[in-house]
């Protein structure tokens, strides 16, 4: 198992170096001068522009800037935001719990609904449940998140007035963050109504963010279950006199979960992309919104280091998924 | 009275182009402690008829019969819960591909202990001890460590021994072995057959051996049913069948044995049907 883990860890090194190049290059191919944007509408003299560029290192050749960036990274220095002058890592760590909470709740909703729906659809293949659920999943998968989010806001926040439009908790409540997860912190605060308020703020963006992963997980589970249900070992389990629930829930599902868990891992990347849109629609103070704001301000250090940190999170989750994969599938573990 | 009695069993599969008849009105019976071989080429409906007995056919299969009775239990009209009281306990089955027949995600120990705990109500510790006994009984080397192995860590022969251990765990009265040696090496085939015959004798159970290998039939069976295209061609005790086969198809099967080769082109089934003018 340790060898398996170290092997997977080794794969991350070239991936990480590749990401530093993409993150560094991406922001520089965008048109726009960060120094001019910093100066704002008043403009800036050419001398002051040159002075600031030299101060920030933008006058050096690109390769030299990249090496400086890598060198700083090696020392754990992610740079300072050009706008707020705060360390990028501090801003990231402040905002990340909001995104993590949203993403975790979304992927939990997606898995808790998607897996059973996929299993039932496979077991009752061709039934009305199968057809309705898989068509709904296809619609969910094809739906633009932006539009879907707005539709839900119109229905639940505007017409029905069941949920708030934006934010993480009502302004009536204030407490010091302990974990950064509003649901947990609101419970820890002991303030009456705080948890309900946090939950009502979270539910709509989480549903929007869960939509695509839910559709993908349901379809993947169905197809994996259909494949597994035809395997000889499932026939053996039935020949052993096991109940249908045990045959499906233990013998078939355990094997079907291998590709499903991989899919869930891959969906974390989709979640991050979805979080950018969802956080923008719902004014959710997470790293998605932070990235969008930083791109429009050409805040180079925030964009490049932010991208890198997000990518690192996705890689970490995928590493955990790979490890789970090894735990579930002994053939992989013993390779 | 026979232990298993099947009369006029027909199995049809619904396909896009209409029903396909896999088994067409066969009668099969097996007595207590008897070894019955069902022989025939691929597609003759040998496995399908026994999977119908086990209730393991897919929903697309339509099963009809005048009678399908196991020791007084009507297999045709029982609920799936009632059938589970027999399947895996009184009637067990082993299959052709032993490695694929074991769940790759669980240790073989878990898979056999599952039968002992859920079917026989044993405690975890008792099931472990019994599993060890069974592994020893079927000749698995180093059974203490093999209990913790996954199927991919065992050879095909060892996996078939595990399957046999699972099948005899509840001391069944009928074991159906569906081509249990086809996927194995020749040397291992002999060992597995000998093991099956020893266990059949020790446990006094009836054994239905599905095979297309006439050599296996000669060595093991008391009685033989010959099937072709879903129909029963002939039924006889093993000596009569080999000494005086009645049906042209049986003669065709026997003539295809390597020891009967004359050096000329091997005759085909259609040659025999043409000679006899039968069909």
Structural domain contains residue A56 = no
Measure the CA–CA gap between A181 and A100, rounded to whole angstroms: 8
Structural domain contains residue A312 = no
Structural domain contains residue A249 = yes
Residue written as token pair 């496995």: B47
CATH number of residue A196's parent domain: 1.10.3720.10
- The SS3 call for residue B202 is helix
Over residues A218-251, the pLDDT tens digits come to 999 999 999 999 999 999 999 999 999 999 999 9
Closest residue in B to A239 (Cα) is B88
Name the β-bridge partners of B10: B24, B64
The string over A44-61, giving b where at least 16 C-beta atoms fall within 10 Å of a residue's C-beta and e elsewhere, is beeeebeebeeebebeee
Alpha carbon A48 to chain centroid, angstroms: 40
Over residues A83-141, the pLDDT tens digits come to 888 999 999 999 999 999 999 999 999 999 999 999 999 999 999 999 999 999 999 98
Q: Does A251 touch chain B (CB under 8 A)?
A: yes
Measure the CA–CA gap between A124 and A229, rounded to whole angstroms: 12
Residue of B51, B105, B108, B175 for testing the chain A interface, max A β-carbons within 10 Å: B105
- The SS3 call for residue A38 is helix
Q: Where are the beta strands (DSSP E) in B194-259?
A: 206-211, 223-228, 231-237
Measure the CA–CA gap between A249 and B152, rounded to whole angstroms: 22
Can you state the angle between helices A287-296 and A300-328, rounded to 10 degrees? 150
Residue of A127, A232, A235, A241 for testing the chain B interface, max B β-carbons within 10 Å: A241
Measure the CA–CA gap between A175 and A324, rounded to whole angstroms: 36
Over residues B222-277, the pLDDT tens digits come to 999 999 999 999 999 999 999 998 888 888 888 877 777 677 777 777 777 776 65
Closest residue in B to A256 (Cα) is B105
Structural domain contains residue A11 = no
CB contact under 8 A, B105 and A238: no
Q: How does the average pLDDT of chain A come out, rounded?
A: 88
Q: Which range of residues forms the domain containing residue A245?
A: 95-296
pLDDT, position B277: 58
CB contact under 8 A, A235 and B119: no
Q: Which of A273, A240, A277, A258 is nearest to A321 (CA)?
A: A258
Can you state the angle between helices A300-328 and A2-29, rounded to 10 degrees? 150
Measure the CA–CA gap between A290 and B94, rounded to whole angstroms: 61
- The SS3 call for residue A77 is coil
Structural domain contains residue A233 = yes
Length of chain B: 279
Residue B103 has its nearest CB partner, among A233, A241, A334, at A233
- The SS3 call for residue A294 is helix
Q: What is the mean pLDDT of residues A269-295?
A: 87
Measure the CA–CA gap between B6 and A330, rounded to whole angstroms: 42
Burial classification of residue A240, based on how many CB atoms lie within 10 Å of its CB (0-12 exposed, 13-18 middle, 19 or more buried): buried
Residue B153 neighbours by CB distance under 10 Å: 16
Residue A329 neighbours by CB distance under 10 Å: 19
B184 pLDDT tier (thresholds 50, 70, 90):
confident
Structural domain contains residue A135 = yes
Residues 295-334 of A with CB under 8 A from B: 328-331, 334
In degrees and rounded to multiples of 5, residue B88 shows phi and psi of 85, -10
pLDDT, position A264: 87
Overall number of domains in chain A: 1
Maximum separation of any 2 CA atoms in chain A, in Å: 85
Q: Does A231 touch chain B (CB under 8 A)?
A: yes
Contact (CB, 8 A) for A265 and A103: no
pLDDT, position A15: 87
Measure the CA–CA gap between A171 and A302, rounded to whole angstroms: 28
Contact (CB, 8 A) for B248 and B235: no
Over residues B1-14, the pLDDT tens digits come to 789 999 999 999 98
Burial classification of residue A328, based on how many CB atoms lie within 10 Å of its CB (0-12 exposed, 13-18 middle, 19 or more buried): middle
Global pTM reads 0.83
Using DSSP bridges, classify how beta strands B206-211 and B35-39 pair: parallel, antiparallel or unpaired. parallel
CB contact under 8 A, B105 and A330: yes
ipTM for the assembly? 0.91
Contact (CB, 8 A) for B127 and B69: no
DSSP-derived secondary structure letter, A156: I
Structural domain contains residue A178 = yes
Q: What is the mean pLDDT of residues A9-34?
A: 84
Contact (CB, 8 A) for A21 and A45: no
Q: Which of B189, B179, B158 is nearest to B38 (CA)?
A: B179
Contact (CB, 8 A) for B201 and B208: no
CB contact under 8 A, B88 and A255: no
Q: What angle do CA A73, A272, A310 make, to 5 degrees?
A: 5
Over residues B140-170, the pLDDT tens digits come to 999 999 999 999 999 999 999 999 999 999 9
Contact (CB, 8 A) for B63 and B57: yes
Whether the per-residue pLDDT at B279 is higher than 50: the answer is no
Residue A239 has its nearest CB partner, among B54, B114, B152, at B54
Structural domain contains residue A241 = yes
Measure the CA–CA gap between A87 and A81, rounded to whole angstroms: 6
């Amino acid at each position: 198992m340790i060898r398996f883990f170290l092997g997977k860890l080794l794969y991350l090194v070239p991936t990480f170096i590749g990401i530093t190049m993409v993150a560094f290059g991406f922001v520089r191919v965008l048109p726009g001068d960060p120094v001019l944007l910093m100066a704002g509408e008043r403009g800036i003299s050419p001398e002051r522009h040159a002075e600031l560029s030299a101060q920030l290192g933008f006058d050096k050749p690109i390769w030299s800037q990249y090496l400086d960036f890598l060198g700083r990274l090696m020392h754990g220095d992610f740079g300072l935001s050009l706008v707020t002058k705060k360390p990028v890592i501090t801003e990231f760590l402040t905002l990340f719990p909001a995104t993590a909470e949203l993403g975790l709740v979304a992927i939990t909703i997606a898995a808790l609904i998607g897996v059973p729906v996929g299993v039932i659809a496979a077991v009752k293949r061709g039934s009305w449940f199968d057809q309705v659920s898989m068509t709904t999943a296809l619609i969910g998968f094809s739906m633009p998140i932006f539009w879907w989010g707005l539709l839900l806001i119109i229905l639940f926040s505007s017409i029905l007035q069941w949920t708030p439009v934006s934010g993480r908790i009502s302004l009536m409540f204030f407490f010091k963050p302990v974990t950064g997860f509003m649901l947990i912190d609101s419970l820890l605060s002991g303030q009456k109504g705080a948890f309900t308020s946090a939950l009502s703020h979270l539910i709509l963006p989480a549903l929007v963010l869960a939509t695509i992963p839910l559709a993908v997980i349901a379809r993947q589970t169905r197809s994996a279950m259909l494949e597994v249900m035809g395997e000889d070992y499932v026939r053996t389990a039935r020949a052993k006199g096991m109940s249908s629930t045990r045959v499906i829930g233990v013998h078939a599902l355990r094997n079907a979960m291998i590709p499903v868990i991989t899919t869930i891992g891959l969906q974390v990347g989709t979640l991050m992309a979805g979080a950018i849109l969802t956080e923008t629609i719902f004014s959710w103070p997470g790293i998605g919104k932070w990235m969008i704001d930083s791109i429009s301000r050409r805040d180079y250090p925030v964009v490049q280091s932010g991208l890198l940190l997000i990518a690192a999170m996705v890689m970490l989750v995928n590493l955990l998924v790979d490890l789970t994969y090894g735990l579930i599938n002994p053939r992989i573990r013993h390779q | 009275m026979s232990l298993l009695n099947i009369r006029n069993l027909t199995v049809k599969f619904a396909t896009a182009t209409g029903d396909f008849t896999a088994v067409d009105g066969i009668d099969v019976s097996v007595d207590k402690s008897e070894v019955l071989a069902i022989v025939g080429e691929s597609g003759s409906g040998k496995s399908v008829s026994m999977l119908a007995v086990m209730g393991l056919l897919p929903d697309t299969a339509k099963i009809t019969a005048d009678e399908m009775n196991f020791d007084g239990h009507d297999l045709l009209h029982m609920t799936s819960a009632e059938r589970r009281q027999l399947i895996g306990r009184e009637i067990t089955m082993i299959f052709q591909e032993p490695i694929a027949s074991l769940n790759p995600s669980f240790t073989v120990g878990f898979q056999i202990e599952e039968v002992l705990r859920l079917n026989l109500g044993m405690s975890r510790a008792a099931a472990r001890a019994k599993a060890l006994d069974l592994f020893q009984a079927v000749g698995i080397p180093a059974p203490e460590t093999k209990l913790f192995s996954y199927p991919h860590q065992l050879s095909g022969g060892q996996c078939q021994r595990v399957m046999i251990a699972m099948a005899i765990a509840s001391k069944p009265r009928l074991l159906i072995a569906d081509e249990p040696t086809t996927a194995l090496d020749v040397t291992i085939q002999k060992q597995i057959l000998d093991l099956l015959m020893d266990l059949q004798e020790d446990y006094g159970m009836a054994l239905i051996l599905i095979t297309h290998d006439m050599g296996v039939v000669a060595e093991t069976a008391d009685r033989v049913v010959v099937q072709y295209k879903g129909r029963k061609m002939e039924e006889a005790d093993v000596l009569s069948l080999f000494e005086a086969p009645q049906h042209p198809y049986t003669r065709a099967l026997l003539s295809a044995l390597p020891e009967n080769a004359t050096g000329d082109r091997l005759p085909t089934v259609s040659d025999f049907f043409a000679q006899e003018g039968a069909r």
